[in-house]
Amino acid sequence: MTPEPSILLIDDEASEALLPDNCKAMLLTPGDDRFSAKLPALLDEADLVLLDQNLALSNELSLTATDGASFVGHLRSWARSSSLKLPPLVIYTSEYEAFANELPEVGPAVPLGGSFIGQQARLAPALDVEWLVPKDSKDAHADILAIAMAFVDLQEVAGNEKLSLAELERYLKVPTESAWSEIAAERVARARPPIGEPTTGSLEGTRGTTPILRWLLQRIIPYSGLLLSDLYASWTLGLEVESLDRLLLEESDSEWIKAIKESVYTGPASGLSARRWWAAGIDYAAWALRQECDKSGSLKATLAQLKAGGVYPLPVADQVVVVDLDFNEIGLEELDNAMQVHPPGWPAEANEPWMSCKLLEKEPLARTMLEPADRASFR
């Protein structure tokens, strides 16, 4: 039986209606006279803490918190002084533009300038929380459960407050019987996970397993690298993106199609975003496809041999995945019409993004992320 996660909601109007049905709801309001007395025990039990941003606190300059985001700092300071290991902290708010003036952790040093929706991975580290969830979203409860269950699973795999690489592979559900399993495990190790297992059996000095979840939510799932988006997966395979759904639905005994299906990421927090694929698996499938193409001399003939019906190659070979100013992947662009950019704070684990020359021509801010030699071509 799947365990029910314990979720603590700190809100002026804390209500079980704001939480998913299949969880243990714990409610606390800042106005509670026994707030400080109740908080430690609730945190110890919680698998996830949801903080409302618009708490009814004084906004005068003082040494006390003024809203949910500022309460995070107080909470983390108190946890440090108390040697307490905090569960994941998530801001849960209906004020979608509350952080419009905040500088995201990834990208040029300019304010967000709008809603945080779709920008959680860039903004959460700047606010020192694991994630942000919009209250009125139809996916809010599903997202909350995805994060909470990801932490429950993490605690279960770790068994204590430390995690080894072997445990991390098990947690991420790295396939173990695939031709590319060893490559995937090696790439997990290279993705700079914040492994906290000491060389001794002592837990002294550990900060718990929450940093692993933060790494997964903020650096691995949102950016194509260790895991790939649909667009990156189709580009790597050289196939139209619509072909991916057809391949997954294909009932075939083809080993190649089987390899594609095995590449779908089903690990923790997989429901928090659009579908993701193990890059190692997609790379292997792309290599196998090229090997068969060399034999047949035709991609079309090869796909027919692999029993891949309704699957079509990309019409243009020399293309790259391009992003917009918010670093959302928006499509493919011919290589001659795009340039690679180097955004500040971009995860080293991820593929560095490309932007179209049209966007770079139009947006001076985008050009600040180019190599100097590339920047000079726009003068």
- pLDDT tens per residue, range 177-223: 999 999 999 999 999 999 876 544 544 444 679 999 999 999 999 99
**Rounded to an integer, what distance in angstroms lies between the CA atom of residue 256 and that of residue 260?**
6
Is the model more confident about 293 or about 341? 341
* Domains detected in the chain: 6-151 (3.40.50.2300), 317-379 (no CATH)
Pairing of strands 329-334, 319-323: antiparallel
Does the pLDDT at position 322 exceed 50?
Answer: yes
Q: Angle 230-237/279-296 helices, nearest 10 degrees?
A: 30
Band (356; pLDDT cuts 50, 70, 90): very high
Band (10; pLDDT cuts 50, 70, 90): very high
- pLDDT tens per residue, range 48-85: 999 998 876 655 544 567 778 888 988 898 888 888 88
**Rounded to an integer, what distance in angstroms lies between the CA atom of residue 148 and that of residue 39?**
18
- pLDDT tens per residue, range 309-319: 778 888 888 99
- pLDDT tens per residue, range 109-140: 999 999 999 999 999 999 999 999 999 999 99
Taken in order 184, 187, 189, 193, the sign of the CA dihedral is negative
Q: State residue 203's pLDDT score.
A: 45
Band (254; pLDDT cuts 50, 70, 90): confident
Phi-psi region of 204 (alpha: psi -120 to 50; beta: other; left: phi over 0): beta
